[in-house]
Structure 1
Amino acid sequence: MIKYKTEEEIQKIRESALILGKTHGEVAKHVRPGIKTKELDKIAEEFIRDHGATGSFKGYGGFPATLCISTNEVVVHGFPSDYELKDGDIISIDCGVYYQGFHSDSAYTYPVGDVPQETLSLLKATKESLYVGIEEAKFGNRIGDLAFAIQKYVEDRGYTVVRELVGHGLGRDLHESPEVPNYGKRGRGPKLQEGLVIAIEPMVNLGTRNIVQERDGWTIRTKDRKPSAHFEHTVAIFKDRTEILTTHKYIEEVVNF
């Protein structure tokens, strides 16, 4: 069942999302060759707690960390670890914040140092596809309209969309109905109504769309081990507009991508 939010509830998600955006910005300051990914996780956890909130992910289904940190061929759900970022890596940082009873969720993929142009182009197209999807996420449209728009944008540029993993509704729970795929057909799926809050999150691969799950039960990587990119925003649907509740502003004040 889809849970539509009141204006008061959406305001609480906005406040959660502001803490989330600032958390991403704080982490962004430290994304560089030589840092261990578990150090980034510690920075995020401390920043969130210092702002009176908690991380949405830690403990969720047994997930061990505040951040999902996914490097290179890892699509999503990677664990922070002793791995040290190196020149040429890409790193997806996915974070959720729980504040005043409501969750927010967003992700950003960073280039680390000197990244091959082919990979930078993947990141650029994936980021752009997120906003292409958001443009179609408007009152009266259907989930399939935004899903189709993302898929077409990505595939027209020679990339592939992961199909087994999708965006989602969110609010009091981190994952709510409806599912929000990044592929589909126009006119299909639930109608976008006022008060709907969803996380839109394209996961796009340089090579095959096929994925595998590692033995840890969480980490998802590309089957061909080619790079994957991931960008995400939480958005709210109103009759007269669609509002992006999360922000990448604090990231983009730090990084030039």
Structure 2
Amino acid sequence: MVEIKTSREVAAMGVTGAFIAGLLDDLEGLAKPGVNLLDLEHRARDLIAERGASSCYWDYAPSFGRGPFRNVICLSVNDAVLHGLPHSYTLRDGDLLSMDIAVSIDGWVADSARSVIVGTARAEDVHLIEATERALAAGISAAVPGNRLGDISAAIGAVATSYGYSVNTEFGGHGLGRTMHEDPHVPNMGRAGRGLKLRPGLTLALEPWLASGTDKIVYDPDGWTIRSADGSRTAHSEHTIAVTDGRALVLTASNGQL
């Protein structure tokens, strides 16, 4: 069932979203060569505890994972793109790191992901991250009353393919609010004019993710970490948004970002 939020409830989700944006800003500043992924995990834990928030990931046990998940953030490096299980890995110059986190404050959830380059950037990685960010921006722009869910998916997919990437539709965006995953599912490719009609108060997490060489995925033995099937580099961008009477509100926006 799709839940429509009141303006007060959207504002409450915005409080959580602002916290997540600041947390990702903090971790991005720490993501340097020589830093261990577990250092980022523990920093995220500390920030969540200091705020009195709660992690949506801790003890999460979906059908596709080897649960329960006992971390507060997903950290995916290079060919890993989703659900990266934090482990003892020291970041190296040139690594491509994707960070994905969802938390709840006072019962309201927000979810966001960001991909960053550690140290020296490679042009192809910049291009890949830019594709996910622009696809996300296109999806957000399509999230207006009167449009349909397929318009969002089509906008995301059109940007991804224009950059030369193929799109996997096994994992995509979703509704959220009181819980991390609510209806509807939002694929990263779709047909315009199809699906649920968008209404003010609909809250969604949009999250285009791409691999530079394939749309096929494989799982690590940990049962969580998802990688590109061909070992190519990957990127992931995500914001929580709310449909309004006009342009969508981006509830997880950071300084200088959408």
TM exceeds 0.5? Answer: yes
5 Å-filtered alignment, 1:19-34, equals 19-34=19-34
Aligned counterpart, 1:184: 190
The one-letter code of the counterpart of 1:109 is S
Shift of residue 248, structure 1, vs aligned partner: 2.8
Q: Distance in 1 between matches of 2:59 and 2:73?
A: 11
Aligned counterpart, 1:56: 56
Aligned counterpart, 1:217: 223
Indicate the larger mover: 35-44 or 21-30. Answer: 21-30
Indicate the larger mover: 73-82 or 238-247. Answer: 238-247
Aligned counterpart, 2:15: 15
Aligned counterpart, 2:117: 111
Aligned residues: 251
Structure 1 residue 147 and structure 2 residue 145: aligned?
no
Instruction: Give me the identity figure in percent.
Output: 38
Structure 1 residue 6 and structure 2 residue 12: aligned?
no
> Which of 121, 124, 137 in structure 2 is aligned with 1:131?
137
Q: Distance in 2 between matches of 1:123 and 1:25?
A: 16
Match of 1:241, SS state, is coil
Structure 1, unmatched stretches of 5+, are none
Aligned counterpart, 1:169: 175
Q: TM-score, normalization: structure 1? A: 0.95
Shift of residue 8, structure 1, vs aligned partner: 1.4
Assess if the C-alpha contact under 8 Å between 2:71 and 2:85 holds in 1.
Answer: yes
The one-letter code of the counterpart of 2:46 is E
Shift of residue 191, structure 1, vs aligned partner: 1.1
Aligned counterpart, 1:227: 233
Structure 2, unmatched stretches of 5+, are 62-67
Assess if the C-alpha contact under 8 Å between 2:18 and 2:254 holds in 1.
Answer: no
Shift of residue 115, structure 1, vs aligned partner: 2.7
Shift of residue 104, structure 1, vs aligned partner: 0.3
5 Å-filtered alignment, 1:62-141, equals 62-141=68-147
Shift of residue 171, structure 1, vs aligned partner: 0.4
> Which of 241, 244, 247 in structure 2 is aligned with 1:241?
247
Shift of residue 92, structure 1, vs aligned partner: 0.3
Q: TM-score, normalization: structure 2? A: 0.94
Shift of residue 193, structure 1, vs aligned partner: 1.0
Runs of 4+ aligned residues of structure 1 deviating over 2 Å after TM superposition are: none
